[in-house]
Amino acid sequence: MTETSTENEEKAPTVEDEWMIRPCPVYDEEYKDCTSIKGRFHQYFVFGETLNCIPWKRDYDNCCRWRDNKDVKSAKEIVENEKARRRQRLEPHYGNDVWTRRKSPPENWNTPLPEHIQKEYEASYLNIKAKEMRGEIPTQVDPSNYCVLM
């Protein structure tokens, strides 16, 4: 009994922060885009130099190994790369001290609009669609291709 349960455990290895590993084609797409002519031109336009695309290739190869062979070492490498990407993306955001972060959303986010505007909106298209999205009325057909006689 214990032997089969350890067998089962070996069959499904997990890696910490496994959720960070994206579907393998994503890495392939990013690598192809990074090395494409348009991509290279855009990199030169923005950064003044071409970027290193090798991490995407490594992640794609590692992802294939993880997906097909459950290679834990490859998975851990991907997770490391993803953590570095997250850090690179989020650091400038949290380090932007031109403004301070709010502790709660703005108070006027949902304050009611002035009366005359609300009245105008009663019969409007967006009002109907907003109600549909909230589930207050059933979805209706939008006769957008019919002719309008003024």
Pick one of 109, 135, 136, 149: the residue that binds another protein (CB under 8 A). 109
User: Of residues 86-105, which lie at the interface with another protein (CB under 8 A)?
Assistant: 86, 89-90, 92-93, 95-102, 104-105
Q: Letter for the amino acid at 87?
A: R
Task: Tell me: does residue 6 bind another protein (CB under 8 A).
Answer: no
8 Å CB contact between 97 and 52: no
At its nearest, how many Å lie between another protein and the CB of residue 3?
A: 38
Give the CA distances from residue 41 to residues 26, 36, 54, 85, in Å, rounded to whole numbers and listed in that order.
21, 8, 17, 22
- DSSP code at position 111: P
Q: Say how far apart CA 2 and CA 70 lie, in whole Å.
A: 22
# residues near another protein by CB under 8 A: 51
- DSSP code at position 102: P
Task: Tell me: does residue 4 bind another protein (CB under 8 A).
Answer: no
Task: Tell me: does residue 145 bind another protein (CB under 8 A).
Answer: no
User: Of residues 31-70, which lie at the interface with another protein (CB under 8 A)?
Assistant: 33, 38-39, 41-42, 44-48
Q: Say how far apart CA 61 and CA 51 lie, in whole Å.
A: 19
User: Of residues 115-134, which lie at the interface with another protein (CB under 8 A)?
Assistant: 116, 121, 124-127, 129-130, 133
Q: Is the dihedral of CA 29, 34, 37, 42 positive or negative?
A: positive
8 Å CB contact between 59 and 40: no
Contacts with another protein, residue ranges (CB under 8 A): 19-20, 22, 26, 29-30, 33, 38-39, 41-42, 44-48, 86, 89-90, 92-93, 95-102, 104-106, 108-111, 113-114, 116, 121, 124-127, 129-130, 133, 142, 144, 148, 150
